[in-house]
Chain A
Amino acid sequence: MKLTVLSGKGGTGKTTVSVNMALSLSKIQLLDADVEEPNCKYFIGTDFDKEEKIYRKVPKVDQEKCTACRKCVDFCEYNALAMMIDEVLVFPEICHSCGGCKRICPVNAINEVDRELGNLKHGVNKYGIDFWQGELNIGEESSVPVIEELKEKTNPNKNVIIDAQPGTTCPTIEAAADSDYCILVTEPTPFGLSDLKLASELMDELKIPHGVIINRAEEDSDYIIEDFCEERNINILLKIPFIRDFAHLYSNGIPFVIDYPTWKDEFKKVFKEIRGVLDEKDNGN
């Protein structure tokens, strides 16, 4: 089973849920796909035993051959090329590696060269979780190729938890697209609700079954999320209370199930519930 943990809003607790859930279950593989700021490592350990670089193709212009016809500049949909005083400038950070400029050049003045985009690292951590993380290099803008490569590491014999990037744009979609189920993590605030709506609409669009975990839950404000979920018929899988000790553990890089092992049962229940939903769906088909 492949589960992606995502949220519309950043900082709601995707990593908290991913890591604590991973520690509560067996036969788990954890993928940190929040490649702009992977942070699972701070909770499960930063020792890595494998590293692979990720490259992508960007254009290199042979100025000797270039006739300054400008076809490549006009073709580029992403403004990654400019023509300044008869010279084509390349801005590789914003290039999407589509290869169009190379094809359109009438005098073959454009070659493609490898540019390092980021890396994948495999972790050996103290909890024994099979852990891969993707990391985008500083200054790079497109994280999707890193996430694609990260997903190649998916072990089909394990239960895979993917910690996605916040938001509802390409990187989040890439992480979630072929998941069996998605957990939307939110918080009981108007911001949390607003972005949960977007995330839930994304799920409907992708046709992925999903449920909600409310983090920093408080009796007085949970209705903000509960009313919405009831109206949209979205299952609330779990509430993680807003208590000082959880925040304190977090700030020390300790997943709270380590100090509160009974919470492992809560995550096991969530997992069982998700499995039930998926079985029902399979039987329905």
Chain B
Amino acid sequence: MKIAVTAENDNGLQSKLNPHFGRSPYFAFVDTETKEVELVKNNAARAAGGAGVSAAQLISDRGAKVLISGSVGPKAYSALSSGNIEMYISKDNTVGEAVDSLQEGSLSQLSSPNGTPRK
């Protein structure tokens, strides 16, 4: 299964977890079977508007089924839900720790948006 995690920098599983979804500088895509990790730059991070929607599109296009972040805004939540992508909230420090937490079952699943859109 492919998991997307919002990341502040491009440093594999050691990348720092970014607390916001839409404008996260990077997304880490982690394959839970092979443990392979790929970091993708978020081109929407500096978009004037619609960053959350654009980021959700990227997550879906890359085939991730689960997203881990600190917060997800209303439009991104709606788009990700439509894409059947599960969202989990983590306060871990790194991408690797967040993935471990998910597998241990210690992350809570998001059932409504918990972030606010930024202009």
Contact = CB atoms under 8 A, between A and B. Distances in A.
The answer to whether A and B belong to the same complex is yes
Interface of A: 73, 78-85, 87, 89, 91, 93-94, 141
Residue picked from A73, A84, A87, A93, most chain B C-beta under 10 Å: A84
A269 to B, nearest CB: 39
Nearest to B47: A79
17 contacts: A78-B48, A79-B44, A79-B54, A81-B53, A82-B53, A82-B56, A82-B60, A82-B79, A83-B60, A84-B60, A84-B79, A84-B82, A87-B82, A91-B50, A91-B53, A91-B79, A141-B49
B68 interface: no
A35 to B, nearest CB: 15
A82 B81 CA distance: 12
A90 to B, nearest CB: 10
A79 B60 contact: no
Residue picked from B49, B51, B54, most chain A C-beta under 10 Å: B49
Interface of B: 44, 47-51, 53-54, 56-57, 60, 75, 78-79, 82-84, 119
Given A78-B48, A79-B57, A81-B53, 12 more contacts: A78-B49, A79-B44, A80-B53, A82-B56, A82-B57, A83-B57, A84-B79, A84-B83, A89-B53, A89-B78, A91-B53, A94-B53
A185 B2 CA distance: 54
Contacts of A85: 60, 82-84
A94 B75 CA distance: 10
A94 B50 contact: yes
A79 B50 contact: yes
A91 B75 CA distance: 7
B59 to A, nearest CB: 10
Contacts of B54: 79, 82
Given A84-B60, A89-B78, A79 B53 contact: yes
A87 B44 CA distance: 21
B50 A78 contact: yes
A81 to B, nearest CB: 8
A79 B84 contact: no
A89 B83 CA distance: 10
Contacts of A78: 48-50
A94 B50 CA distance: 6
